[in-house]
Each structure stands twice: as C-alpha cells, then as structure tokens.
C-alpha cells in the first residue's frame, strides 16, 4: 500500500467532496476507508495498492466529475 | 464522443461566471423590454434563453453527482428549474437559475476570505532555495531538490527554505510563522533555524536537517489543514442528515405533486428544501476559527478538540515552572562579616564550581565579585557543600547542613531565618568557622502577566485552577497564594498527578492539563484536553490536543476564548440555517407571497449570512491584543 496526496483546484461547495469521494470509491485498488477529502485545503488523501491502480487513474476519475488535479504526490 | 462531451463540460465550467453574467443581463433585458417597450415577446424570449443557458452548468453538476449516487442540491435545483420551464413559468426558471449561480459565485468569493488565515500561512512556505555547490558558488533550486546536509545560503528578506543549523553568518529572523510572536530573534553559528521563517536582516549559511513536510513548519501546516477539515460529532450528524435529507425533499415534493396535482407548490418545495446554509455553516466556523488560532500561535488538533476545550471548567498546571520563569533569583540577602568583598568572592568562587540550580542565582546576584581558586570541594547530597579557598573552610548549604556542622545562630539571625521561611523562599546559608556569615532568600519569580491572564481565564468560565507540582510545599504554596489558585499540591510524582486527574474527572470535571508537552505524558493523555505550551516541538505536536507555540498565558486565554466563540458561532449558524428552511416551508402554506424566486433569494442570502457570521471568527482577538 502507498499513500497519495492530490492537490485539487479550490473546492467551493461541500457537496463537491461527496462527488469526489464517490468517484474514487468506485476505483478498485483504493482503500475506501482511507479516502479523505479535505474540503478547506482542497486536498485528497488516500491509500492505494500500487499493483492495481496508479495516480493517473485517480486523476482521470476526478476530472470526470468536473475537478482539476493540480499536483500529485505519492509516499511510501 | 466521450472526449467531446468532457471538453464541452470543461468549457461550460470554465465559463460559469460568464454564463452567470449573461443570464443576469438577459433577465434585465427581459424586464426592460417588458416595462419600457411593452414587448412581451422579447420578454419571454430573453427569459427562455436565460433559463436554458443558466441551467446548463447546474444540470451538468447534477448529472455528475447522480453518477456517483449522490443527490446533491444541484439535482433539486435542476429538477425544479426544468419543471418550471415545462409549465412555462419562464420568469421563475430564469431568476432561480441566475440566483443559484450568482449565489455560488459569492459563496466561493467569501469562502476564500475565510480560508485567508491559513493561506497567508501557506504563502510563507518556501518554494526555492539557494544551494551552495562544492566550489562555493550557489544555484537556485526548488526546495524539493534539497537533501539532508545540503548547505543553503539565505539572504536578507528571503524565506528560510529548510530546518537546519546555522554554520556561518548571522542575522535577525522573524519566527512569527512558528511562534506566533512578531519579535525578531537573532541567530548565529550553531543556532537552529526553521523553514518558513523570514530572515529580516543578515546572511546565513545553514546546514539542512529536515526538508518539506518533515520540517516543523510542514508539520504545523499539515496539522492545521487536517484540523480544519476534521469534524465534530454535530457536523458528522449534519453530513449524514443532509445525505438523506436531499432525497427526502425530492420525495416530499413528488408526493405533494401526486396528492395536490399542483406542480407549482411541488417545485417551490424543491427549491426551499435546499440545505445549503446547513451544510456550509459549521465548516465555515471551523475553518475561520482554526485559521485564527494558527495565526495567533494556537494550534488545535481538530474541531472535536475545540468542542471539548470549550466545555473545560478546570485547568491543571503540570509544574511550578509552568507558572514561574524557572530561574530563581535572590530576593533578600543578609551578611554578617566586616570584609564583605572577600565574603562575596568566596561564595561566588565556590558556586562557580557547583551545578546546583540555586548556584547560578547567587553568581548573578554578586556579579562583581573577584574569582579565587578553589582548592577542594566536598558535596553533601541534599544539604550543601564544604570547600577550601585560601585556607578558609566555607560551608554553603541549607539548615540541615548548618546543624551538621554545629553552626551558631544569634537570636536576630534566628529571627531573619524565620522571616525568610515564612515567605516560602528557598534559603541558602553560608558559614565560616562555625559562624553564620550570610543568608540568602531565593524565589522563582512568576512569569510576567500570569496573574492578569489567570483572571481572564476565570472570566471566560474556568472554575478552578489547580497546580500539581513536584516541588516542595513552601514554594508551591507561595505560587498558589500569589496567583490565587484554588488548589496546589506539592511533592507529586508523575503517577500521583495522573491519579489526581482521575480523581477530579470522577467528580465530573472537564480538565485541561497544561504542560510543556514533553514530561507527564500519562496525565496529558488522561486529561480531557492536553495543552502543550512552549514550542512547536514534534513531541508536543504528537502528544497534545492543543499546541501553544509560546509559553505565554495570553495564548491560553486566547485558545479557551476562541474555542467558546467557535462553538457558539457554529450553533448560531445551525439555528440560522434550520430557522430559514422552516420559515420558508411554513410560508409556502401560510402566505400568499411565497414563490420560487423569493425562496431561492432568501436561501442564497442565508448562505451568505452564515459565511459572513463565520468570518467574524477571523477577527477574534481576546487575550492576544497587544
């Protein structure tokens, strides 16, 4: 398992967080319990299995619900 | 195909503000043409275009939400607008979409203001550093490239890029981002400097010890970010509630339509039922309040912590040193010798060899005394010492030490001794040839302004102030009396302290335990709130719930006052939000004037009201007013 921190464009509505969480939950390889969308910091933190999924897939999923990903960081 | 859809979608979102503006202008054109030129065709046409244009971004957001199985506010508004459009209520559909879009535009603007406190902190995060190469020249690189032990050059006016040790140069550093204190600190070789602080003057070469998120500044930012988005029980309840609430509104409006066959009432309910102010009210208070704390050197670990702190009624201090300066001073001295100069020289020369905490105080007290060579010295544990200087045998110690060497006291000396004892001072006695030659009364002075700050604490609702100290009875009682503490217990071991805290909790008290965050971790963990005072050290950040960056009680006053202000602010916002929804829903049935547009207007206004109300917390100043 690795940890990812995604910096998004500024989030302005609390329901945005629900959408982003929903979009990420449907991806296999992401630990659903670990997803936390920081509304005020406009960041997403999560753990994922690097053999099943990569950050680009997460970025695509977030783009699809209408949000831009500005920066991605992966930690051990 | 999908790519084209995505592109159009992105285009619409990008120009959301333009769409809002055009839709607003079209509405103005519509009304102008109706009132000025009596042109009803243009009126209707403009409104139809405004509706269709305005609903686009809202509907797209609604579809995205539905895709991930969320019934968001956008869904309610989209259904309402489409329904209004279908029954040819073009005025309503146009105005509602415009108000909703304009409202979210204002929401975004004001929300950014509430986040300003943390953003001004974030802007201090260093982006680049001047790395010194092997040939002593330097290059500008991104901070991400700096590694452990790299040497960095910092020039006047720039941010210090990493946590490290100064190896050459000197300068004055503003550490407000770390300590919350604006007084600059001077730094020279061997001093530790922090990333995110600013070199006001001078040039420093520093050796990198920690980079990026591992720096103290990085940890503070992470802590504050996590805290702002952490949720209280109330907020978690609201989140769960709004998750089932929006589908319920949809259902209710559908039922009303089925039962009454009145589409208009049904869609009014959709618009009025939006929980906008409710979902944003609490997070706004949290972000503004926690941001305010961060700017004033008060770090909360989360909203839950704020809630508990606001309920605290008992503050326990972990040791005398939390309330005092920790450096004893001589407050009274008595000498009984003709050659006072020699006596002082003897005492200072011997104390220079000792590492007893009181020794430094005596040396400071007699700065001008000449230093003589000490020939021999014998320490008597817990009592004092005997030393030989120039063939003179000098005994320095406490009463027990004097008794051991059969030192004589005249009746007046005896009286002075009793006077010093009654004050709660620590006493140092000096004897030569079994004759008492000097007597010193020492006290550890209180920190400046502690007394006033503790009075402030009581005013903000703290009922008892308790000191649990490892020191001896007399000095503890002195501090307790001077500060008017409710209880003070001396000679306590760490386990005694935690037992006592448990005892207080059994009486139903909510306890904040204030310490340096390093010792007494069992008590810190046991108390309802652990407050680490002193510095943003890693240990303090790990073990405590609230970190006060400076050992200054005004920050404690600020923390407790702010926590209460935040909680009442959240309550106000919840009341405003629920009150507005109830008021609007009641008026659907009770009044004649209610329609979709008014409902949307009141809704958007209530959202702005809760945001502005939350923003007031940014200016909360109690305790730290300078």
Give the HSE-up count for residue B606: Cα atoms under 13 Å, Cβ half-sphere.
Answer: 29
Contacts of A66 in chain B (CB under 8 A): 9-10, 13, 60-61, 64
A-chain CB neighbours of B608 within 8 Å are none
B73 → closest Cβ in A10, A15, A66? A15
Buried b vs exposed e over B265-279: b needs ≥16 C-beta within 10 Å?
Answer: bbbbbbbbbbbbbbb
Angle among Cα B587, B108, B22 to the nearest 5 degrees reads 80
B170 by DSSP, 3-state: which? strand
Distance from CA of B68 to the nearest CA of A (A): 5
Last residue in a domain, options B509, B527, B559: B559
Q: How far apart are CA B473 and CA B494, in angstroms?
A: 16
Q: Same structural domain for residues B425 and B370?
A: yes
- Could you tell me if residue B302 is inside a domain? no
Residues B6 and B111 in one domain: yes
Which chain B residues have a beta carbon less than 8 Å from that of A40? 115, 118, 225, 228-229, 283, 286-287
Chain centroid to Cα B13, Å, comes to 36
Q: Testing the interface with B: which of A14, A61, A76 to mutate, by most B Cβ within 10 A? A: A14
Of the candidates B348, B338, B395, the residue with the CA atom closest to the CA atom of residue B368? B348
User: B225 with A43: CB under 8 angstroms?
Assistant: yes
Alpha-helical (H) ranges within B216-356 are 216-229, 233-260, 263-272, 276-295, 303-311, 320-323, 340-351
The H-or-E segment that residue B62 falls in is helix B40-67
Q: Say yes or no: B118 contacts chain A, CB-CB below 8 A.
A: yes
Interatomic CA distance for residues A40 and B231, integer angstroms: 12
B114: closest CA among B229, B285, B235, B282? B285
User: If contacts are CB pairs under 8 Å, which of residues 180-239 in chain B contact chain A?
Assistant: 225-226, 228-229
> How many structural domains comprise chain B?
5
Residue B215 lies in a domain: no
Q: Which residues contact B303 (CB under 8 A, 6 or more apart)?
A: B227, B230, B231, B232, B235, B286, B290
Identify whether residues B541 and B479 lie together within a single domain: yes
The segments of chain B whose pLDDT lies below 50 read 626
Q: Helices A14-25 and B276-295 meet at what angle, rounded to 10? A: 100
Judged by CB atoms closer than 8 Å, whether chains meet at B225 and A40 is answered as yes
Rounded-to-10 torsion of CA B401, B402, B404, B405? 120
Q: Does residue B459 share a domain with residue B313? A: yes
Domains of chain A, start order: 2-75 (3.30.70.100)
| A-chain residues near B10 (CB < 8 A) | 66
- Which helix (H) or strand (E) element contains residue B48? helix B40-67
Q: Give start and end residues of each alpha helix (H) in B544-625.
A: 553-590, 596-615
Pair (B48, B109) in one structural domain: yes
Of A40 and B247, more confident: B247
- Name beta bridge partners: B210: B163
DSSP assignment of B339-370: -HHHHHHHHHHHHTT---HHHHHHHHHTTTPP
Please give the Cα distance from B201 to B179 (Å, whole number).
19
Of B507, B534, B559, which marks where a domain is finished?
Answer: B559
Closest residue, chain A, to B284 (C-alpha): A40
Q: Are B489 and B515 in contact (CB under 8 A)?
A: no
* Pair (B255, B317) in one structural domain: no
Q: What is the ipTM of this complex?
A: 0.78
**DSSP β-bridge partners for residue B379:** B385
Instruction: Determine the Cα–Cα distance for residues B518 and B534; give it in Å rounded to an integer.
Output: 10
- Marked catalytic residue, from B74, B150, B163, B318: B318
Residues B12 and B61 occupy one common structural domain: yes
The 10 Å CB-count burial string (b at 16+, else e) for B406-427 is: ebebeeebeebbeebeeebbbb
Task: Identify whether B549 is part of a domain.
Answer: yes
Q: Which domain holds residue B358?
A: 329-443
Contacts of A38 in chain B (CB under 8 A): 225-226, 228-229
* Catalytic residue flag (residue B200): no
Integer CA distances (angstroms), B364 to B336, B399, B443, in order: 20, 23, 14
Instruction: Give me the CATH number covering residue B140.
Output: 2.70.150.10
Q: How far is B70 from chain A (nearest CA, A)?
A: 7
* In a shared domain, residues B336 and B435: yes
B465 and B381 within one domain: no
Residue B625 has a pLDDT of 53
Domain contains B295: no
Residue of B66, B68, B242 to mutate for A, most A C-beta atoms under 10 A: B68
**Cβ contact B65–A14 (<8 Å):** no
Residue of chain B nearest A41, judged by CA positions: B225
Of the CA atoms within 13 Å of residue B342, those in its CB half-sphere come to 10
Per-residue pLDDT, B626: 43
Q: Which two tokens stand for residue B418?
A: 């009793």
Instruction: List the one residue out of A68, A58, A18, A16 whose CA is nearest residue B111.
Output: A16
Residue B395 in any domain: the answer is: yes
Say yes or no: B6 contacts chain A, CB-CB below 8 A.
Answer: yes
CATH number at residue B555: 3.40.50.1000
Is the sign of the CA dihedral B60, B66, B70, B72 positive or negative?
positive
Same-domain pairing of B66 and B19: yes
Closest residue in B to A20 (Cα–Cα)? B68
Looking at chain B from residue 317 to 356, which residues have their Cβ under 8 Å from any Cβ of chain A? none
Q: What is the pLDDT of residues A45-63, one digit of tens each?
A: 999 998 888 888 899 888 8
B142 in contact with chain A, both atoms CB, cutoff 8 A: no
Cβ–Cβ below 8 Å for B9 and A66: yes
| Strands B546-548, B529-533: pairing kind | parallel
SS3 B165: strand
Which residue in B317, B557, B582 sits closest to B459, CA to CA? B557
Q: Which residue of A has its CA nearest to B73?
A: A15
Kindly state whether residues B146 and B71 are assigned to the same domain: no
The nearest alpha carbon in chain B to A23 belongs to B68
Chain A contact for B314 (CB, 8 A cutoff):
no
Shared domain check, B135 and B206: yes
Nearest Cα residue in chain A from B71? A15
Q: Which stretches of A1-76 are DSSP H helices?
A: 14-25, 55-64
Give the bridge partners for B317, in sequence order. B467, B514
Residue B299 lies in a domain: no
Domain assignment present for residue B187? The answer is: yes
B625 lies in some domain: no
């Amino acid at each position: 398992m690795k940890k990812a921190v995604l910096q998004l464009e500024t989030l302005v509505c609390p329901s945005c967080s629900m959408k982003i969480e929903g979009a990420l939950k449907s991806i296999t390889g992401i630990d659903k319990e670990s997803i936390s969308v920081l509304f005020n910091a406009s960041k997403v933190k999560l753990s994922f299995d690097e053999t099943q999924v990569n950050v680009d897939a997460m970025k695509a999923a977030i783009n699809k619900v209408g949000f831009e990903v500005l920066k991605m960081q992966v930690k051990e | 195909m999908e790519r084209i859809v995505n592109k159009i979608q992105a285009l619409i979102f990008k120009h959301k503000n333009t769409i809002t503006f055009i839709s607003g202008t079209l509405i103005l054109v519509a009304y102008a043409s109706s009132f000025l030129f009596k042109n009803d065709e243009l009126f209707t046409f403009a409104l139809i275009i405004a509706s269709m244009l305005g609903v686009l971004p809202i509907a797209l957001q609604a579809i995205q939400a539905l895709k991930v199985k969320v019934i968001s506010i956008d869904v309610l508004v989209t259904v309402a607008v489409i329904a209004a459009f279908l029954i040819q209520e073009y005025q309503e559909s146009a105005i509602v979409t415009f108000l909703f879009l304009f409202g979210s535009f204002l929401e975004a603007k004001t929300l950014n203001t509430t986040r300003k406190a943390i953003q001004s902190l974030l802007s201090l995060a260093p982006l680049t550093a001047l790395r010194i190469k092997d040939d002593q020249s330097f290059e500008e690189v991104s901070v991400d490239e700096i590694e452990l032990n790299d040497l960095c050059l910092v020039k006047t006016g720039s941010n210090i890029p990493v946590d490290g040790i100064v190896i050459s140069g000197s300068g004055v550093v503003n550490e407000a981002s770390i300590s919350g204190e604006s007084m600059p600190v001077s730094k020279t070789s061997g001093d530790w400097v922090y990333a995110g602080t600013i070199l006001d003057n001078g040039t420093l070469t520093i050796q990198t010890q920690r980079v990026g998120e591992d720096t103290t500044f990085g940890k503070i930012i992470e802590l504050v970010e996590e805290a702002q988005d952490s949720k209280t029980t109330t907020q978690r309840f609201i989140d769960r509630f709004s998750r089932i609430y929006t589908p319920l509104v949809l259902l209710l409006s559908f039922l009303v339509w089925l039962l009454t066959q009145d589409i208009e009432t049904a869609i009014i309910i959709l618009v009025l039922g939006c929980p906008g102010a409710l979902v944003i009210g609490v997070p706004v208070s949290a972000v503004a309040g926690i941001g305010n704390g961060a700017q004033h050197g008060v770090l909360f670990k989360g909203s839950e912590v704020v809630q508990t702190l606001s309920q605290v009624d008992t503050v326990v201090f972990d040791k005398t040193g939390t309330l005092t300066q920790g450096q004893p001073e001589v407050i009274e001295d008595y000498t009984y010798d003709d050659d006072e100069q020699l006596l002082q020289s003897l005492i200072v020369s011997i104390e220079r060899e000792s590492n007893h905490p009181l020794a430094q105080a005596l040396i400071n007290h007699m700065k001008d005394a000449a230093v003589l060579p000490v020939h021999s010295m014998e320490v008597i544990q817990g009592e004092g010492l005997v030393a030989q200087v120039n063939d003179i045998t000098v005994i320095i110690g406490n009463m027990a030490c004097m008794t051991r060497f059969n030192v004589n006291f005249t009746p007046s000396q005896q009286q002075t001794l009793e006077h010093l004892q009654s004050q709660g001072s620590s006493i140092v006695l000096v004897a030569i040839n079994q004759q008492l030659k000097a007597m010193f009364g020492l006290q550890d002075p209180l920190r400046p302004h502690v007394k006033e700050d503790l009075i402030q604490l009581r005013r903000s609702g703290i009922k008892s102030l308790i000191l649990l100290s490892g020191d001896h009875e007399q000095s503890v009682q002195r501090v307790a009396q001077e500060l008017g503490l409710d209880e003070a217990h001396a000679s306590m071991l760490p386990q005694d302290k935690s037992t006592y805290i448990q005892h207080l909790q059994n009486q139903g008290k909510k306890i904040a335990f204030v310490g340096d965050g390093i010792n007494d971790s069992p008590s810190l963990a046991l108390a309802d709130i652990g407050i680490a005072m002193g510095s943003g050290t890693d240990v303090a950040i790990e073990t405590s719930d609230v970190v006060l960056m400076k050992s200054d009680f005004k920050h404690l006053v600020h923390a407790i006052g702010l926590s209460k202000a935040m909680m009442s602010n959240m309550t106000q916002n919840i009341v405003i939000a629920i009150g507005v929804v109830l008021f609007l829903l009641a008026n659907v049935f009770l009044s004649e004037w209610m329609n979709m547009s008014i409902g949307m207007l009141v809704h958007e206004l209530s959202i702005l009201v809760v945001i502005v109300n939350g923003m007031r917390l940014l200016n909360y100043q109690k305790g730290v007013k300078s």
